[in-house]
Amino acid sequence: MFKLSEASIRSWAGDTIFERGQDYQRQGLVRDLHFDSPTQRIDAAIDGNYGDYHISLVLKTNKLTGDCDCPYDGWPCKHMVAVALAFLANQGLYTKAAAQATQTEARLKAQLQALSAEQLLALVLEAQTKYPEFQRELLLRFESTNPNTLKSIKKDLHKALAKIERGGSISQASRQVQQIWQSASSSPPAIQLQVLMTILDQGLEVLAELGIYDTALDDFIADGLQLLERLFVQHPALAEQKETALALLMYHYSRDNSLEDNIYHTVETLADKPAHYELVLQRLQAQADQAEGFMASYLREKMAHWYARLGNNDAELALLSEDLQDGGDYWRLARYWLTKKQPDKAWQVVKQGLKAAQGNKDELYSYALKQHKGDLPALHKLFDQWLSETAQPASLLIEMSPLYQALSTHYSRHKDQKALEALFLKRLKHQHLDLALYHSAQKKLEPAAFKRFESKLLSRLKKLATQPKPCWQDGLSHAEELLGEIWALQGETAKLWQLVGETDAGRTRFEQTLLPLYPEAYLKGWQQMVTQYIELRNRSAYQEAVKLLKKLQPLMCKQLKAPAGWADYLTQLRQQYPTLRALHDELDKAGF
């Protein structure tokens, strides 16, 4: 059994998650905690940011396991930590309560065994009247084939999901839906299928209507789609119901919800005969008739896939050839010809796409690169075209380009410095200027070539740095910042100070480089900023002023060797603003 302690929980969760969970536990947000001794399971609820979260922990093994239905992607979450700490804080009480519950169960068992059949029947009938969940269990066990049972299930589902529409807890509604499924999961397969399809239908409808995602509900619906796949695999006798299931799924696939990829995956898994393919095609065609642009192209690709499964190559080709606009349209058609072992036709489509296609052409360029391997003029032409179509790409994007990599690798391998320099000058002309370009050129070019490139880069940056800034731009321009970074690397601190030293943003950006050289300027600037913050007359501004004072103290006392001046400055500051209690409070908290 896992031994709970603050240390073991911290080790399990990590410091950050532990502290967040500890905060939740200290606020008393954990409620309805229940401990089951035989299974060593802890269940609890927490009031979360997006409704109630249900947490389960198991201590039975030599490690702590569990889950939470909150949307956090990591594991464990702060809610699990909060529950573990809440249990730890009163472990003796919960263990005692669990033991009492076990004893109570044993006594009840003995008392029930002593009842006659008539007395037990009366007790069960009374309970099913009082408790709808118990009645549902009985109906699914003894009346599962009665149409009224399914009507009752649908009604229960509608009531649970309607709470979400009225602003209720999504997590709570999801748990109620899960309880309904758990009741049905022991029914005959045909009943399980009907209940599951009802859950999927109503759940997907709510997701589409309310536009919700990343919640316990869509997690459960996604699991439900996988359950549907397994039901059909495990129970071949249900195969006749596949068409009904596919029709339902394709209806919801056409709706705007967060699970369309999951739905489509299930459709692909279930469809296994021509009648199914025709049904899917019919629904996709109805969507395509209403779609435009990218969505129309996307749906044509889907339809072509289903025609391929039908073996209708003519219809597949016709769809792939229709309304070619995006690079992806051309590449899908080229890929079709490649699968048909006709590379010449594929190459013709790629060349047409490189000339006429809009949008992303990465696949087309990659294929063209293979066709032109070793043909440097052709590769340069392709790279020039790619640069002209890509608006000011950053260094990372350029260096990830297969075209650039092919050219750069070839010239580096053959030590062709002239060609490499020309390649970097081409980048200088077309790309978004950044420090990565400077470093890459420094690494690839020999000193003389790099000096020429560096001179051109600095010349361009100086020109850009003198251009007027937009009225909305505060602080350094991109050109000023990049020029400053290069001068800082070169040790040109006088030039750097001349460029940025007159602005607060510039001094802040290059503080590490410039503060040791220009302490008096920083002293003056920071003191002015302290005054400006205080004049704003609010606590958050006072806190910002205190942050600057924490930098001023070592500057005056250590660097400028003026501890007396620092003491006088603090005294004057307090005397200048004697009535600002919040300011004095922040100064006191900082120890000033």
User: Per residue in 395-415, pLDDT tens?
Assistant: 999 999 999 999 999 999 999
pLDDT digits (tens, 9 = 90+) for 265-292: 999 999 999 999 999 999 999 999 999 8
Q: Six-digit token pair at 188?
A: 């005959």
Asked if residues 169 and 211 have their Cβ atoms less than 8 Å apart, the reply is no
Q: What is the mean pLDDT of residues 40-53?
A: 78
**50 pLDDT higher than 60:** no
Q: What is the pLDDT of residue 303?
A: 96
**Mean pLDDT of the chain, nearest integer:** 89
Q: What is the pLDDT of residue 53?
A: 82
pLDDT digits (tens, 9 = 90+) for 501-520: 988 899 999 999 999 999 99
C-alpha neighbours within 13 Å on the C-beta side of residue 504: 10
Letter string b/e over residues 405-430, b meaning 16 or more CB atoms within 10 A of that residue's CB = ebbbeebeeeeebebbbebbebbeeb
pLDDT digits (tens, 9 = 90+) for 341-369: 999 999 999 999 999 999 889 999 999 99
Q: What is the pLDDT of residue 48?
A: 66
CA dihedral (204, 206, 210, 213) positive or negative: negative
Per-residue pLDDT band at 248 (split at 50, 70, 90): very high
Residue 415's contacts (CB-CB under 8 Å, 6 or more residues apart) are none
Q: CA–CA distance from 133 to each of 139, 183, 368 (Å)?
A: 10, 9, 64
Calculate ∠ Cα 519-522-523, nearest 5°: 85
Per DSSP, what are the bridge partners of residue 52? 47
Element (H, E) at 351: helix 343-356
Q: What is the mean pLDDT of residues 327-353?
A: 96
Identify residue 59 by its one-letter amino acid code.
L
**147 pLDDT higher than 70:** yes
Asked if residues 482 and 499 have their Cβ atoms less than 8 Å apart, the reply is no
Q: What is the pLDDT of residue 275?
A: 96
Q: What is the pLDDT of residue 49?
A: 61
Q: What is the pLDDT of residue 51?
A: 59
Residue entry with tokens 């400053």: 484
> How many other CB atoms are there within 10 angstroms of residue 509's CB atom?
19
Least reliable range by pLDDT among 72-81, 373-382, 420-429: 72-81
> How many other CB atoms are there within 10 angstroms of residue 551's CB atom?
13
**486 pLDDT higher than 60:** yes
Per DSSP, what are the bridge partners of residue 68? 55
* SS3 assignment, position 35: strand
Asked whether the bond before 76 is cis by omega within 30 degrees of 0, the reply is yes
Longest dimension (CA), the chain: 103
pLDDT digits (tens, 9 = 90+) for 110-143: 887 887 888 888 877 877 788 777 777 777 777 7
* SS3 assignment, position 44: strand
What is the spatial order of strands in the sheet that 65-68 belongs to? 30-36, 41-48, 51-58, 65-68
pLDDT digits (tens, 9 = 90+) for 300-315: 999 999 999 999 999 9
Q: What is the mean pLDDT of residues 463-480?
A: 86
Residue predicted with more confidence, 342 or 223:
342
Q: Six-digit token pair at 544?
A: 């910002």
Q: What is the mean pLDDT of residues 559-566?
A: 93
Per-residue pLDDT band at 333 (split at 50, 70, 90): very high
Least reliable range by pLDDT among 182-186, 257-261, 388-392, 522-526: 182-186
Q: What is the mean pLDDT of residues 570-587?
A: 92
Residue predicted with more confidence, 233 or 166:
233
Least reliable range by pLDDT among 167-176, 469-478, 556-565, 575-584: 167-176
Q: What is the pLDDT of residue 181?
A: 85
Residue 439's contacts (CB-CB under 8 Å, 6 or more residues apart) are none
Question: Nearest Cα to 343, choosing from 370, 377, 314?
Answer: 370
Q: What is the mean pLDDT of residues 33-45?
A: 87
Distance CA 507, CA 491 (A): 16
* SS3 assignment, position 547: helix
Asked if residues 403 and 379 have their Cβ atoms less than 8 Å apart, the reply is yes
* SS3 assignment, position 326: strand
Residue 227's contacts (CB-CB under 8 Å, 6 or more residues apart) are 196
Q: What is the mean pLDDT of residues 138-154?
A: 75
Distance CA 580, CA 537 (A): 8
Distance CA 530, CA 214 (A): 44
Question: Nearest Cα to 293, choosing from 337, 328, 251?
Answer: 328
Q: What is the mean pLDDT of residues 29-47?
A: 87
Per-residue pLDDT band at 1 (split at 50, 70, 90): low
> How many other CB atoms are there within 10 angstroms of residue 291's CB atom?
15
Per-residue pLDDT band at 179 (split at 50, 70, 90): confident
For residue 358, the 8-state DSSP code is B
Q: What is the mean pLDDT of residues 526-553?
A: 94
**pTM (predicted TM-score):** 0.68
Asked if residues 76 and 17 have their Cβ atoms less than 8 Å apart, the reply is yes
Instruction: Let me know if 204 is exposed, middle or buried by CB neighbors in 10 A (0-12, 13-18, 19+).
Output: buried
Q: Six-digit token pair at 97?
A: 């309560």
Q: Percent of the chain having pLDDT more than 90?
A: 62
pLDDT digits (tens, 9 = 90+) for 187-222: 889 988 998 999 999 999 988 888 877 777 888 898
